[in-house]
Chain A
């Protein structure tokens, strides 16, 4: 008889969300007297026991600083840390684990590229092409470096459906375009972008590409070599991993040529009073003691997701969003935003309930034990484009159930009965 420990991921063809829920202790609780329905995974996902146990185990048995000590604990810690890097490299299809840089989160990964690559490569007159559906984390770092270098930031427009206006892409691309940075999936509208197509056209114009995979990597099967992108940024905490660790994938030649981002210990080969030589990849970009336990946790998260299979994850969420869009459309005075075709839509349902402020909607839902996000979701320019100040957003993950969508709809009727303007 084989015993399945929480550290051994289950192998299944399709997702059994009900069984998966048993792996997430936090979901098993009542909020305001009602069973918790956690519908805010786009902001941060919950953590399976496999991740919690892996981090706890690391601290209980192994912790020491990495890359330094000539003793057993440090060697083991180093091995665990570097093993996590290999797991992440395999998970996203990188050619080598040297192309995987650990950062704090997707935001820091994008800042790394904007600062290290951007400062060395952008000149006055150059252009950085973004899209109108970017999260603030893929806008502000580029605005800052553009101001510093004299480069210009331009935006590929979004249509009323929440789809990128690809027809306009070629006209925006020119020899001035040095990098195209865009999201794999919009955190506000749930739009899945045609990433491979955008990369292909950007490359043809001679531009580099950075994909913000913060929403994409946790939910969509992704292979960076198949996409052909130059950089991919994502966060651990949205994909069952801990907070405090993120990833920058970068093509090796590019990372080799880039100057460091942060500097200090661990990122150098040799230091004299006059100067320093940089360490090899990827450590050149990892100054100071890294988030070791968090890397171990991310490695466990990647194992967990691989065990489920990312195709199954995507299929589950596609079903949920199709059901959610159908159910929410039944509620009078609900306005839905974003693409209606579930093939181009991740598990993110964004809506407004008449004139009721999203904070008021979220408060009523909270009283029913339902956790959603209300606000501008760090996409203020996109909200402005749609003439909105705020929206409500329910988002799903591997442990989300159709029944939770039913409860959401029921609670919206309750909100309608409380607020006359709904």
Chain B
């Protein structure tokens, strides 16, 4: 929990890029969480990432952690990340109601990485 609070109060890579290679945003209508994720991609590798948005500590901390995690990784690799990746990152048990908060940033990342049209959907992330 301390790690989550640390990322929540001191978010890493917070902001936007003027000219992102990929930018995508989504809402979680139930609680009003909002995440935008901007990526710089060079030769298939994520070279830099920033996020912005608002919402609860779980949603914002998971986005902050995710931006650290994806830097230097191939885009094709992160496309295949599942919810376990995020849950490991957060490191605390997430109940079914907060799952949508925890996974919003992953949803934004994957929808952005696939380009919304090529994305197979969020079913695999659903708890």
Contact = CB atoms under 8 A, between A and B. Distances in A.
B9 A359 contact: no
A375 B9 contact: no
B32 interface: yes
Given A357-B31, A375-B30, A420 B9 contact: yes
Interface in A346-373: 357-360, 363
A419 B1 CA distance: 11
9 contacts: A359-B31, A359-B98, A389-B31, A389-B32, A390-B32, A418-B5, A419-B5, A420-B9, A421-B9
A154 interface: no
Closest 4 A/B residue pairs (Cβ): A389-B32, A357-B56, A359-B56, A360-B57
B113 interface: no
A77 to B, nearest CB: 37
Interface string B42-59: 000000000000111110
Contact of B101 (A359, A389, A420): A359
Interface string B1-25: 0000100010000000000000000
Contacts of B101: 359
A376 B32 contact: yes
A380 to B, nearest CB: 8
A359 B58 contact: yes
Contacts of B30: 375-376
Given A375-B30, A375-B31, A389-B32, A360 B56 contact: yes
Interface of A: 357-360, 363, 374-376, 389-390, 418-421
- With most chain A CB atoms within 10 A of its CB, the pick from B5, B9, B32, B55 is B32
A346 B27 CA distance: 32
Contacts of A375: 30-31
- With most chain B CB atoms within 10 A of its CB, the pick from A360, A374, A389, A390 is A360
Interface residues of B, number: 12
Contacts of A420: 9
B57 A357 contact: yes
A419 B32 contact: no
B98 A390 contact: no
A360 B31 CA distance: 11
A359 B101 CA distance: 9
Nearest to B34: A389
Given A389-B31, A389-B54, 20 more contacts: A357-B31, A357-B55, A357-B56, A358-B31, A359-B31, A359-B56, A359-B58, A360-B56, A360-B57, A360-B58, A363-B98, A374-B31, A375-B31, A376-B30, A376-B31, A376-B32, A390-B31, A390-B32, A419-B57, A421-B9
Nearest to B97: A359
B120 to A, nearest CB: 28
Contacts of A357: 31, 55-57
A374 B57 CA distance: 14
Nearest to A390: B32
A357 B32 CA distance: 10
Contacts of A421: 9
Contacts of A359: 31, 56, 58, 98, 101
A188 B6 CA distance: 32
A421 B55 CA distance: 13
Contacts of B54: 389
A420 B54 CA distance: 16
B127 to A, nearest CB: 16
A421 B98 CA distance: 20
Contacts of B32: 376, 389-390
A133 to B, nearest CB: 19
Interface in B68-116: 98, 101
A359 B99 CA distance: 12
Contacts of B56: 357-360
Contacts of A376: 30-32
A292 B34 CA distance: 44
- With most chain A CB atoms within 10 A of its CB, the pick from B9, B30, B31, B54 is B31
A376 B31 CA distance: 7
A363 B4 CA distance: 14
A374 B31 CA distance: 8
Nearest to A388: B32
Contacts of A363: 98
Contacts of B31: 357-359, 374-376, 389-390
